[in-house]
């Protein structure tokens, strides 16, 4: 599906200057892809229907949908569909890293968050925005009006990754802010002490919130394409590190990264949190499908 892939590739998205057009481009490609994929059923259910099950009133069956799909669907009631979502953005300096100078982790996260904002408002779901580094820096209250897309996207477009981060403290703050059960969508590279971050994620989940963790790394952080003697720096403090033999440490480094991601995957699974490992070379559809799965599970 070359046409669909075009809409979802980060290097193509990078060529579009405006964030609202980027988001629309991604969403358009995503829905085109759904119609030609095993997830086709989502495109109906996601919109405004759910499958007919025993006990439902047959009078609620949407016969127009039946004529198109040969399956029984009923209209969802508003109470079944509405969920308040929060896009939670990590502003740490490390999110601004890129190896090939194509798409930074932050660019990737911003585009993904913008697309999810479109999807949620399309569903008439209230969506808000929270930004943090060492603490929560700003928040946009959740709303479901279409005009709210412009508010969220303009805020996203003006964000810049700066300074160090404290994921655990910021998520603890967020937990105290949320008064009702919500869907928390966290975008971060998770380059911090893992255990405090995991504990704060657990607290959010135990408080009744659904959580999707989009773990975004640069493609170079995942593949380690470096060779020979290389010099690196701390991604948040820019402190120069001692030169290392990149070729010699490559296998150990890749094993560490794999263990790092696997630890978060395992901990999230045990806590009922959706964990979505991504890197900046990956198409956006994988993350959006994960959102759909969570969204449908809430219906």
Residue 46 has pLDDT above 70, yes or no: no
Percent of the chain with pLDDT over 70: 87
Closest by CA to 201, choosing from 141, 257, 267, 149, is 267
Non-local (6+) Cβ contacts of 67 within 8 A are none
Average pLDDT, the chain: 87
Q: Give pLDDT tens digits for 134-178.
A: 999 999 999 999 999 999 999 999 999 988 999 999 999 999 999
Mean pLDDT computed over 239-248:
82
Q: Which of the residue ranges 68-82, 102-116, 208-222, 247-261 would you say has the lowest mean pLDDT?
A: 68-82
What pLDDT is recorded for position 78? Answer: 47
Mean pLDDT computed over 252-258:
96
Count Cβ atoms within 10 A of the Cβ of residue 30 and give its class: 0-12 exposed, 13-18 middle, 19 or more buried.
buried
pLDDT: which is higher, 93 or 238: 93
What pLDDT is recorded for position 49? Answer: 66
Q: Give pLDDT tens digits for 75-125.
A: 665 445 578 999 999 999 999 999 877 799 999 999 999 999 999 998 889
What pLDDT is recorded for position 80? Answer: 52
Q: Which of the residue ranges 34-38, 171-175, 192-196 would you say has the lowest mean pLDDT?
A: 34-38
Q: How confident is the model at residue 6 (pLDDT cuts 50, 70, 90)?
A: confident
| CA–CA gap between residue 130 and residue 107 (Å, rounded) | 16
Residue 259 has pLDDT above 90, yes or no: yes
Q: What domains are there in the chain, each with its CATH number?
A: 2-78 (no CATH), 83-298 (3.40.50.410)
């Amino acid at each position: 599906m070359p046409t669909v892939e075009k809409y979802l590739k980060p290097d193509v998205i990078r060529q579009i200057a405006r964030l609202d057009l980027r988001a629309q481009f991604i969403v358009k490609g995503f829905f085109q892809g759904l119609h030609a994929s095993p997830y086709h059923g989502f495109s109906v259910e996601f919109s405004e229907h759910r499958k007919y099950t025993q006990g439902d009133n047959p009078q609620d069956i949407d016969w127009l949908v039946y004529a198109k799909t040969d399956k029984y669907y009923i209209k969802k009631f508003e109470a079944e569909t509405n969920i308040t979502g929060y896009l939670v953005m990590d502003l740490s300096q490390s999110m601004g890293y890129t190896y090939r100078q194509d798409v930074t982790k932050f660019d990737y996260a911003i585009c993904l968050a913008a697309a999810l904002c479109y999807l949620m408002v399309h569903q008439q779901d209230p969506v808000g925005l929270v930004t943090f580094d060492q603490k929560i820096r700003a928040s946009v209250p959740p709303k479901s009006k279409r005009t709210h897309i412009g508010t969220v996207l303009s805020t996203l477009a003006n964000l810049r990754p700066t300074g160090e981060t404290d994921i655990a403290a910021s998520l603890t703050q967020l937990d105290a802010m949320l008064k009702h059960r919500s869907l928390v969508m966290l975008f971060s590279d998770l380059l911090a002490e893992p255990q405090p971050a995991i504990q704060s994620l657990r607290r959010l989940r135990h408080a009744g919130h659904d959580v999707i963790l989009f773990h975004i790394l640069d493609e170079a952080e995942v593949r380690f394409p470096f060779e020979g003697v290389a010099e690196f720096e701390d991604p948040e403090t820019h402190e120069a590190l001692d030169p290392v033999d990149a070729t010699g440490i490559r296998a150990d480094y890749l094993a560490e990264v794999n263990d790092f991601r696997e630890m978060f995957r395992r901990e999230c699974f045990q806590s009922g949190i959706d964990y979505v490992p991504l890197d900046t070379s990956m198409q956006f559809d994988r993350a959006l499908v994960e959102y759909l799965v969570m969204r449908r599970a809430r219906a």
